[in-house]
A = this chain, B = another copy of it.
Amino acid sequence: MKAEEFLALVQGKQDSAANRGMSLEEELNESNAYYVSHDIASVHKKPTPVQIVKVDYPSRSAAVIREAYFRQPSTTDYNGVFEGRYLDFEAKETRNKTALPLGNFHEHQINHMCLVVKQRGIAFAIVRFTVHDETYVLDASHIIHFWKESIRGGRKSIPYAYIKEHGHLIPVGYRPRLDYLSVVKQYYFS
């Protein structure tokens, strides 16, 4: 992997190998900006956590970070509020045709999802199968279930067929491009 590709990856621009149009993260950022600007919801991606070690500061406005390291996030990447409800989700894109590998999640993210559910927030993943060009909202309960099974020696991925059955396909639109809140509203609000 080249330096630019690595940088793009950690900054969430796009997986260079999945480089077919916009990445899931770019579409989510665009959709979230649309929701915010139209007062529909307040959902934001959290910044990439970095441990800052050394800063050059000719003046505060021009401070340059000269040494810093990536830290593992302790939560999911996105959260916010939508019509009185707390939303919390992780976005995962895979080029795998048949399953979403669980290696895409960290244990503390699973623990975080469990706590959000306990606190009556809405927790889910937005999962994109790039090969199928399909993006799903998958409730956290399914991810937690497969995660627990994998710890007990079960499979280390969630089958595509399972997600197709238990997830909710997000229709592709124009504005916003990825209107996941319409799906959230349909399935979580009653």
Contact check, B3 vs A42: say whether CB atoms are below 8 A apart: no
Contacts A6-B57, A50-B47 given: A68-B65 contact, CB under 8 Å? yes
Q: Which residues of B contact A52 (CB under 8 A)?
A: 7, 10-11, 48, 50
Q: Which of B41, B44, B64, B81 contacts A67 (CB 8 A)?
A: B64
Residues of A participating in the B interface, judged by any CB pair closer than 8 Å = 3, 6-7, 10-11, 36, 39, 41-42, 44, 46-50, 52, 54-57, 60, 63-71, 73-75, 79-86, 88, 112, 115-116, 118-121
Number of copies: 2
Contact check, A50 vs B69: say whether CB atoms are below 8 A apart: no
Contact check, A67 vs B69: say whether CB atoms are below 8 A apart: no
Q: Which of B48, B67, B79, B118 contacts A79 (CB 8 A)?
A: B79
Determine how close the nearest CB of chain B comes to the CB of A135; give it in whole angstroms. 24
Determine how close the nearest CB of chain B comes to the CB of A7; give it in whole angstroms. 5
Complex Cα distance, B85 from A83, in Å, reads 11
Identify the closest chain B residue to A74 (Cβ): B44
Q: Which residues of B contact A50 (CB under 8 A)?
A: 47-48, 50, 52, 65, 68
Identify the closest chain B residue to A4 (Cβ): B55
Determine how close the nearest CB of chain B comes to the CB of A110; give it in whole angstroms. 13
Identify the closest chain B residue to A87 (Cβ): B86
Determine how close the nearest CB of chain B comes to the CB of A122; give it in whole angstroms. 9
Contact check, A63 vs B119: say whether CB atoms are below 8 A apart: no
